[in-house]
Amino acid sequence: MRNDPQVIDLVTRAGIGERAAWDALVERYSPLIWSICRRCQLDRADAEDVGQAVWLRLVEHVGSLRDPAALPGWLVTTTQRECYRVRRARCRLADGQVSDAENLPDEQATVADDELLRAERQAALREAVMELPANCQQLLTLLTTEPPTSYAEISVKLGIPVGSIGPSRRRCLDRLRRHPAIAALSDADAANTAGLPQLGGDT
């Protein structure tokens, strides 16, 4: 999703001060920022400080981003820098104990890439699910609860026969996979089902 047209559109609109675009960007990428803070072992207060600093920096620079599609990577790098800055300030670690963000070890860079991909998949999935019919949203929600909801319970809650749950699940997932946000992920990982929930087999 490196050239996700929705990201490009949101960044462009945010650059001219459109509030709805900012809200959408915050909703889409806050989980990514939070996950990086957790990887850096920041407590909640420090993570919130980092999040605020990252969004403030984006406010300052969004109009000058040469490649709007590169926003996710920009957020990863900026969040890492803020996390290391906070860790140095809070923990007063000796020089050399915390790597500069510009020289992240390969392992940490790989983790950041994984977090970015996970965040993009989650954002695409949320977008696609919200556009499903209400009955599909309800069914998929029940099928992905923890602990799992039995087919018998789902039948009672939704008022549908147990035998129709499996076919209904397939139809809903087919619609989900055809959504443009989910289909775009296949370019990055054709063998993956775009992070769709594992809902088990039919009964």
- The residue extents of the domains of the chain are 1-123, 131-203
SS (H, E, C) the chain: CCCCHHHHHHHHHHHCCCHHHHHHHHHHHHHHHHHHHHHCCCCHHHHHHHHHHHHHHHHHHHHHCCCHHHHHHHHHHHHHHHHHHHHHHHHCCCCCCCCCHHHCCHHHHHHHHHHHHHHHHHHHHHHHHHCCCHHHHHHHHHHCCCCCCCHHHHHHHHCCCHHHHHHHHHHHHHHHHHCHHHHHHHHCCCCCCCCCCCCCCCC
Tell me the per-residue pLDDT of 126-150, one tens digit each, with 9 for 90 and over: 777 888 899 998 998 888 887 778 8
Tell me the per-residue pLDDT of 64-83, one tens digit each, with 9 for 90 and over: 777 888 888 888 888 888 88
One CATH from 3.40.50.300, 1.10.1740.10, 1.10.3720.10, 3.30.70.260 for 1-123: 1.10.1740.10
pLDDT at 96 over 50: no
For residue 159, what pLDDT band results from cuts at 50, 70 and 90?
A: very high
